[in-house]
Amino acid sequence: MSRLRTFIAVGLDKAIRDRIAALQETLGRAGSDVKWTEVENLHVTLLFLGEVDDREVPEVCRAVSDRTKEHASFTMKVETAGCFPNVRRPRVLWVGVGNGAQELVALHDDLEPPLLELGCYRREDRKYSPHITLGRVKSDRPTHQLSAELAKQAGWKGGEIVVKDVLVMSSQLGPAGPVYTVLSRAKFSG
């Protein structure tokens, strides 16, 4: 029996990933110690399941497919840049979702119950907030320049895509960073 580090996500097209890569370069010039998300790994996480027994993965894929069919495709606009928990102590750098955020929250809320029922998901303490992780600050070195650069990027626009499916993904951690594999693709009804 093996376990797969598993999550549910919405993918991004190349044009948006390229714009995000340019933003990462701009923010990188601020000199903070950041582990940047690899461009090919950029996505919106709907739910992070953690380690899932590989024998349970087909049930997870089925549950996601069943719920996703009840939703229609929608337009998602990627825009603005920010950080968690706050600009004085940035730890996670992100870009946000404008239009489409409501649909992502509804999708998240609809996927939670069957995955909780399967026992392979634990509800998060904080409210779900759709975003794309740009990188994580790795040290406690001063981040004033990074905070200032983030503030300048508040009006950043990454583009928009039509979201037509949800991905069940696995993540294998390696020396060069995580390697993501699509386990299944659940299509919307229309």
User: Does the active-site annotation cover 131?
Assistant: yes
Instruction: Determine the Cα–Cα distance for residues 89 and 52; give it in Å rounded to an integer.
Output: 33
Q: What's the token pair of residue 96?
A: 């946000």
CB 74 within 8 A of CB 146: no
CB 135 within 8 A of CB 37: yes
CB 182 within 8 A of CB 168: yes
Q: What's the token pair of residue 110?
A: 């609809």
**Among 71, 108, 131, 144, the one annotated catalytic:** 131
CB 114 within 8 A of CB 70: no
User: Does the active-site annotation cover 144?
Assistant: no
**Among 43, 71, 108, 144, the one annotated catalytic:** 43
Active site positions, annotated: 43, 131
